[in-house]
Amino acid sequence: MPTSIFVLACALVFCGLAGPASAQQGLNLINLGGGGAKLQALSAADLPDLNQDLTSGKARLPGSLNVDKTRIGQDRDIDPDAYIVGPNDVLQLYIWGEFDQPYTLQIDPEGNVLIPTVGSFHISGLSLTAAKEHLSTAIQNKYPNVEISISLVSMRFFTAYVTGAVINEGSFTIHPTTRVADIIKQAGGFRDRLQGQGVGEQRLRANRGTNRDTGRRSIKVFHHDGTVERVDLDMFLATGNLAHNPYVRMGDVVHVSFRNHSVYIFGAVNEEGEYEFLPGDTLGDLVTLAKGLRRSKPLISAELWRFQEGTEQAEFIELSGDKETLEELDYEKIRHIELRPNDAVFIRARSLWRSTHAVAISGEVRFQGRYRIEPGVTRVKDVVAAAGGLTDEASLIGARVIRTRVRAESDPQLEQLQRQSEVAGLTYMNIEDRAYLKTKTREEKGRVAVDFERLFVDGDEGQNILLASGDVIFFPMQRHTVSVSGQVQRAGLIDYEIGRDVRYYITKAGGYLYDADKRNARLVRARTGVREKLEGDLLVEVGDEIWVPQKERINYWALTQETIRTAASILALVLAVRSL
């Protein structure tokens, strides 16, 4: 027992000796001079209510999410005059002169910062500049023989709110460099952006009011001091001016409402359409929202369509310009015109201004590429000559001109027949429709009728057609073969011989296979693309193709079933007639 008491007493004595020494070392008392006052250095571990590890710079957010406070994303340097300090901001105080000593100071939840031996100071709500001046003045009043530097080393996290026409209303944890657009994104974005997508509860919430557009230009930010700030995010996106997308402060309420009025703009602007109207908007504001004017063409006129108040009648107002004389519009004279709700602005520009009319030529010419033309003047031979003429391997057979503008046009009747054939086949289609479908499907759309042999060999200038912008001219390479494909023994290319008929080339290909459909075999002319029924004495020209399809196999069982069903239907009809 005495031994145990002795050991316990020694331990208590050791702790008593070690404790004060450690505390004394942690306090790190410094003699500042000037009356012998002492400034106590704060240990990082002793900072009040600082739920973080300053060594690693990690801050703990709700939900056990660790965020590096010293590495918060910023879009620019902090402006000390604009930055408002608040609880959990961390300042670095550095004192030098007779000694060098850093101190880490954190603003407590009540908005105060404590400087030992100097005092406690309420700085929450002050700008960073004002907070620095306030603390520096207090320290130097007490210790005039030192120099002081104060800087912001870690920004706080705080709560702000988003209400109104967003996907998820509520509170959000943000930092001082969070802008209005950022917190709205955290709230899921504007409610009309979802357009009915999503599942479950999110979709039900989002669908409320999605038939109305949100007011992206009339967002209100309610500050803690009772002031209200209007935010215009559409103007921010159009101009990139961050004044329209300010920072969110602690406790702010960002409210997104629905759009009340709209205005419209069409014509020579980069993004035509409907835009939110705000009182005081001018034509220049609307053009800015539409991403500016298209200056590639001269502006000729501006027109305003405005509904007369209380009626459905719209009046036409000519703002400026003259479409008759093509006098250019002076935009600066009209950009300050004020708009009203539902106004529609039309800005006209000169059509086909300095259009580059060109055609493309490819294939067997010396210089392939694009060539400028003069509509109504330039012909086929002119472009061939500009391209250096034809090569020795150029083939006039199969050469063609494609009019791309026509090729791009849709054929509603053909598209309807194609859809009908996909659904019901050709059974319920009349003879005329079947013939139209077959012809249009086979033709090369946009091909211009030109006989290049008559043009270049016979000198027939009637074939030297005028070219249109976008035309494509192609000269293939000469082919000295005839192609035989399909149900023959040796399908492939066979050397062309003048005066030979179909039988000669079929024989050269080894003859027909057992399942060849000779009745539907065809000769495809290289010159015109026309298909001709295969006859033994039909003369073949260079580049032509002989095509022999396969016989369709007959499903005799299906044919028998169909015959039985047909016979039964006829018998039933006969019996019904006799019973009358």
pLDDT tens-digit series, residues 134-145: 999 998 888 888
* Predicted pLDDT at 555: 66
Instruction: Check residue 260 and give its pLDDT.
Output: 92
Domain end position, chosen among 256, 287, 312:
256
Lowest average pLDDT, out of 16-25, 136-145, 314-323, 537-546, goes to: 16-25
pLDDT at 62 over 70: no
Determine the residue type at 510.
G
Q: How many CA atoms lie within 13 A of 310 on its CB side?
A: 0
Q: What is the pLDDT of residues 270-293, one digit of tens each?
A: 999 999 999 999 999 999 999 999
536/539: higher pLDDT: 539
As for how many domains the chain has, the answer is 4
Considering the domain boundaries, does residue 459 fall inside one?
no
Beta strands in 165-293 (DSSP E): 170-174, 219-222, 228-231, 253-256, 262-267, 273-276
Q: Check residues 140 and 38 and name the one with the higher pLDDT.
A: 140
| Same structural domain, 10 and 97 | no
Given 256, 287, 313, the domain boundary residue is: 256
CA atoms of 143 and 150, how far apart (whole Å): 15
How many CB atoms sit inside 10 A of residue 35's CB?
Answer: 7
Strand segments, DSSP code E, in 457-520 are 472-475, 481-486, 492-495
Query: What's the pLDDT score for residue 172?
Result: 96
- Higher-pLDDT residue of 98 and 26 is 98
Question: Token pair for residue 455?
Answer: 């043009």
**What confidence category does residue 13 fall into, taking pLDDT thresholds of 50, 70 and 90?**
very low
Token representation of residue 305: 């369509």
Range of the domain at 302: 262-349
- Mean pLDDT for the stretch of residues 192-210: 50
User: What is the predicted pLDDT for the residue at 323?
Assistant: 52
What per-residue confidence (pLDDT) applies to 401?
A: 94
Tens digits of residue pLDDT in 89-117: 999 999 888 777 788 899 999 999 998 88
- Asked whether residue 60 is domain-assigned, the answer is yes
Give CA–CA dist 156/49, Å, rounded. Answer: 13
CATH assignment of the domain containing 311: 3.10.560.10
What pLDDT is recorded for position 352?
59
Q: In the predicted model, what is the mean pLDDT of residues 245-273? A: 94
The residue type of 369 is: G
**pLDDT value at 489 more than 70:** yes
pLDDT at 193: 55
User: Are residues 75 and 149 located together in one domain of the fold?
Assistant: yes
Same domain for 73 and 179, yes or no, is: no
